[in-house]
């Protein structure tokens, strides 16, 4: 593969996360952003489909001009030394550190989480997903971060697994269909929280 001299160089020290299909690097030229690249070269067909599903969903959300407070904003493609990448907002805590996933908090330091604040943040996230009709392929604690903020309670921000995995294109999904999808995925998410981390949450409406 021929690499352009203008390509963004992604080195191992910049690696901050590994997903099902992609690797996530801190952007070497902008610490407020990250770059996701496919983990295999050449990529598998399922990896390409997953990225396309996500980009389709982001395009719909951008057209609706949604509030991005609980979803990492997408900033477009970029050429890198590991192939084409996608640039996203990098969620950081008030101290400047990259925000840890909810899974990291629940697995490693559950005693440091304020349970009342977590319940409030979960309620807010569910309302957000429903209001803006943000469809995810799955909802997992590893795909959202617990962002600590200055002069405001912590909040959950979804950073991965955006998109519709069904055969129906995103543009053809009516609002009531989107709400039903989100409800089903949220119920599965609550079961995962209970089974994997003993966090018992039931949010309806």
CATH number for the domain including 38?
A: 3.30.200.20
Domain shared by 85 and 110, yes or no: no
Structure tokens at 147: 């962002």
Query: For the chain, how many structural domains are there in total?
Result: 2
| pLDDT for the residue 171 | 64
Domain shared by 84 and 129, yes or no: no
Rounded distance, CA 205 to CA 202, Å?
Answer: 10
Task: Flag whether 3 is in a domain.
Answer: no
Q: How confident is the model at residue 202 (pLDDT cuts 50, 70, 90)?
A: confident
pLDDT digits (tens, 9 = 90+) for 5-26: 689 999 999 999 998 889 999 9
- Domain boundary (62, 89, 116) is at 89
Task: Flag whether 38 is in a domain.
Answer: yes
Task: Flag whether 141 is in a domain.
Answer: yes
- Domain boundary (56, 89, 122) is at 89
| 1 pLDDT higher than 60 | no
Task: Flag whether 42 is in a domain.
Answer: yes
Domain shared by 106 and 191, yes or no: yes
For 78, the domain range is 12-89
pLDDT digits (tens, 9 = 90+) for 23-79: 999 999 999 999 999 998 788 899 999 999 999 999 999 999 999 999 999 999 999
How much is the pTM?
Answer: 0.94
- Domain boundary (45, 63, 89) is at 89
| 89 pLDDT higher than 90 | yes
Domain shared by 38 and 110, yes or no: no
Cβ atoms 180, 120 nearer than 8 A: no
Task: Flag whether 96 is in a domain.
Answer: no
Task: Single out the residue of 128, 136, 115, 125 nearest to residue 197, CA to CA.
Answer: 115
């Amino acid at each position: 593969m021929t690499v352009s001299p203008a390509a963004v160089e992604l080195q191992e020290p910049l690696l901050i996360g590994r997903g099902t299909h992609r690797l996530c690097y801190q952007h070497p030229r902008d610490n407020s952003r990250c770059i996701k690249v496919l983990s295999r070269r050449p990529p598998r067909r399922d990896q390409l489909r997953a990225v396309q599903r996500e980009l389709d969903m982001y395009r719909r959300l951008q057209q609706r001009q949604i509030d991005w407070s609980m979803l990492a904003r997408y900033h477009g493609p970029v050429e890198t030394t590991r192939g084409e990448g996608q640039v996203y907002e990098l969620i950081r805590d008030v101290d400047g550190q990259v925000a840890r996933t909810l899974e990291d908090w629940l697995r490693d330091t559950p005693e440091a989480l304020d349970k009342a604040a977590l319940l409030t943040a979960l309620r807010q996230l569910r309302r957000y997903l429903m209001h803006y009709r943000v469809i995810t392929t799955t909802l997992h604690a590893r795909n959202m971060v617990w962002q600590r903020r200055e002069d405001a309670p912590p909040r959950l921000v979804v950073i991965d697994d955006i998109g519709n995995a069904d055969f129906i294109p995103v543009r053809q999904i009516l609002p009531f269909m989107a709400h039903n999808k989100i409800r089903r995925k949220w119920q599965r998410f609550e079961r995962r929280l209970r089974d994997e981390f003993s966090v018992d949450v039931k949010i309806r409406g």
